[in-house]
Chains A and B, each alone.
Chain A
Amino acid sequence: MNDLRSGSDSACAARVTLAFIVALAATGCQRETRYFEPPTKAVTPPPVRLSQIQPGAIATNTALAQKYEDNAYALSEGQRLFRWYNCNGCHANGGGDKGPALMDNVWIYGSEPAQIYSTIVEGRPNGMPSFGGHIPENQVWELVAYVRSLSGLVSDTAAPNRTDTMQVKKPESNTEPQKPVVAAPSNASERP
């Protein structure tokens, strides 16, 4: 009888372990999920804060872009589109050129996904073109996620490990998160 009980105990333990492994694997799978977006019907503008002053506690809105920031495919697509759409023409490979650097912690127009989205779609004074209508919405979100990954603001398990072009910094998956500061850059040449 004892033997039987211990046998069923070990079977139960094995089942629990198996369930645990399956659950772990299932959460891991999200990293690789690929979304084949149907054409979006209506573009809902994300809430963008134009002022940094807020009553009470600072409310951030990162849930909007979470789907893209946790997904390795979306981030690597963002990395590809960063070159395709000539973002590197001004921002170089993140270090900045005619446009401000993106791999530092200085954010002139905010580091929240919705703010970066708005920067890409609406443009900014003194040079940032507005890409609204020229780039499909989901690709803008992929770019947003990649731009945030440049300063380590996304999950390092999903961020790109390597680049197809010149390597100017540690890969995004190995970038220490940098606390965003909303400020004009100290370098006068980068000032918008």
Chain B
Amino acid sequence: MIGGMHDVQVPAGAQAHAIAGVWHWLLPICTFVFVAIVVAMLVALWRAPWLRETAAPDVSSLWAPEPKIARTVWAAVIASTLLLLVLLAVSVFTDRALARLPLANALHVQLTGYQWWWEARYDDPDPSRIFTTANELHVPVGRPVIVTLVGADVIHSFWVPSLHGKKDLIPGRTQTISFRADRPGVYRGTCAEYCGYQHAHMVLYVVADAPDDYAQWAQRQRAPARPPATAEERRGRDLFLRRSCAMCHAIDGTPAQGQHAPNLTHVAGRMTIGAGTLENTAARRAAWILDPQQFKPGANMPPENLPPDELAAINAYLGSLQ
């Protein structure tokens, strides 16, 4: 299975570095406070007078005046408050640092969360350069990315731990999050807000490429689907248009323009299918097309009763869509 870096403590970008910095303050301070409280409690238990069963109950304190709060208690309260204020300050300064990161020449991506997959639209001032892909973001190393988050049905949450914190995708409310990947690699993200049956199978991969590799990838994505080269691929395309596939999926450059499911124009170039459910190999793709409910029960893609030869043709065509 595709791994991908998925770790808050191994930051790969400026934003994730700042958040890891908060963690490095938070962990020792909270550990110190926790250990101090436990030690104080144990000492208090150890020092408490032991009651012997035969002894008469000691009620002398009923007549004694209420003792004043010991100086140590005051000291502990003030120390904890100050330490919590330090955490608050660290959090505020981290927020400010994140807000001040340079965003010049940023890449704009609109990410829409559906049950249970991600649609990414790469925006550009020139409309002919806009393209749509799914479940896999490619970004250039070192260039900031501004992601506009849109929720299509229920609340989802964008979270790529190695690149930034979480941000919710709320239907009817547009939010943005920006990150920058400083090292090339594959970073795994997940939906971080429970969104229904297949919440766990809603994976987003962020692939950070060298700027030249990214430019080549984006150029390929802008092109319409490759025309079928062999007779089988041609048959596969016709079946795709004739069967139920085209009711929901779009392949640019063909009449298939369904807008309810991932855009398949360059599906063969992706690492996984079903938003990280299966590896994108010919055998896994065939099994998925035949019965997606076996791998992702509750997903909106229905099982399709295809004869083996039609399945092979459709699969060959999809496999050719690099």
Contact = CB atoms under 8 A, between A and B. Distances in A.
Interface of A: 34, 36-41, 84-85, 133-136, 138-139, 164
Contact of B242 (A133, A139, A164): A133
Given A133-B244, A136-B244, A36 B297 contact: yes
Given A36-B298, A37-B303, A133-B243, 5 more contacts: A36-B293, A38-B303, A85-B247, A136-B305, A138-B302
A136 B300 CA distance: 12
Interface string B224-255: 00000000000000000011101110000000
Contacts of B248: 84
A183 to B, nearest CB: 32
A70 B298 CA distance: 19
Interface string B274-311: 00000000000000001101100110001111100000
B291 A38 contact: yes
Most buried by B among A34, A38, A40: A38
A99 B140 CA distance: 50
B260 interface: yes
Contacts of B306: 39
Nearest to A85: B247
Contact of B247 (A34, A37, A40, A135): A135
Given A38-B303, A39-B304, A139-B302, A134 B243 contact: yes
10 contacts: A36-B297, A37-B293, A39-B290, A39-B291, A39-B303, A39-B306, A40-B305, A84-B247, A85-B247, A134-B244
Contacts of A164: 153
Contacts of A84: 247-248, 260
Interface in B30-81: none
Contacts of A34: 298
B281 to A, nearest CB: 20
Contacts of B294: 38
Contacts of B303: 37-40, 136
Contacts of A134: 242-244, 246-247
A136 B293 contact: no
Contact of A135 (B242, B244, B290, B305): B244
A84 B249 CA distance: 11
A40 B153 CA distance: 29
Contacts of A136: 244, 302-305
Nearest to B299: A36
Contacts of A135: 244, 247
Contacts of A38: 291, 293-294, 303
Nearest to B258: A84
Contact of B305 (A39, A85, A139): A39
Q: Of residues A39, A40, A133, A138, which shows the largest number of chain B Cβ atoms within 10 Å of its Cβ?
A: A39
Contacts of B242: 133-134
